[in-house]
Amino acid sequence: MSDHARVHLSRSAPDAYKTLAAFSKTVGSIAAEAGIEPRLKELVQIHASQLNGCAYCVRVHVERATAAGITADVIAQLPVWRESGVFTDRERAALELAEAYVYIHEEGVSEEVYDLVGGILSEPEYVALSWILVSINAFNRVAIAGRYSVPPRDDLAGEDRDAAAGRAW
C-alpha cells in the first residue's frame, strides 16, 4: 500500500458525479411513481451498501432511514433479515432482490429470485427497485474505490447539497 491519497473521483470529475447524482434523482422519481415508500427504499440501499462494504453509503442511508422513521432495531436486523420477524413479505422480496444485484456477477438475477420477487412486487415496483439498486451499487463503487473516509457527521442536508453540486466527500 502506498501512503499517497487515492484519486477522489467525485472531485476529480465533478461533471460525472453530477450526472450520477441526477441519475439518482431520476431513479427516486421512478420509485415514487411506483409507490416505493421511503422505508423500503432506504432498507434496500442500506443492505446493498452493507454487503458491498461501503461504510460511507451505510452512514448516509442509515441517517435517511432514521429521518424516515425507521428504528435502530429494524436497521440492526438487516444483516439477519431472513431470520428476523420485523420485515414484511414485500420488504423481504426487496432485500432478496438487493442481494441478487450485489452478487449479480455470480448468476445474475436467478429465475428463483425473479419468480419470488415477481410474485410479491408489481412490475413497476420491481423496475423501480432494480434502478435503485443499480444506483446505490454505482455510488458504493465510487466511494469504495476511492476509500472515502467516514468522518463523524451530522449534516445530512449538507451532504445532499454537496452531492447535487458534485462536491461530495
Query: Which of these, 31, 43, 125, lies nearest to 87 by C-alpha position?
Result: 43
| pLDDT reported for residue 91 | 98
Share of the chain above pLDDT 70, in %: 86
C-alpha cell at 109: 438475477
Which three cell numbers mark 35? 409507490
Q: Which residues of the chain have pLDDT under 70?
A: 1-4, 151-169
Please give the pLDDT value at position 169.
43
Long-range contacts of 49-54, Cβ-Cβ distance < 8 Å, separation of 24 or more: 49/136, 49/140, 50/78, 50/79, 51/98, 51/99, 51/102, 51/103, 52/102, 52/137, 52/140, 52/141, 52/144, 53/144, 54/139, 54/140, 54/143, 54/144
**How confident is the model at residue 11, as a pLDDT?**
84
Report the CATH architecture of 23-148.
Up-down Bundle (1.20)
pLDDT of residue 158: 64
On whether the CB atoms of residues 123 and 36 are closer than 8 A, the answer is no
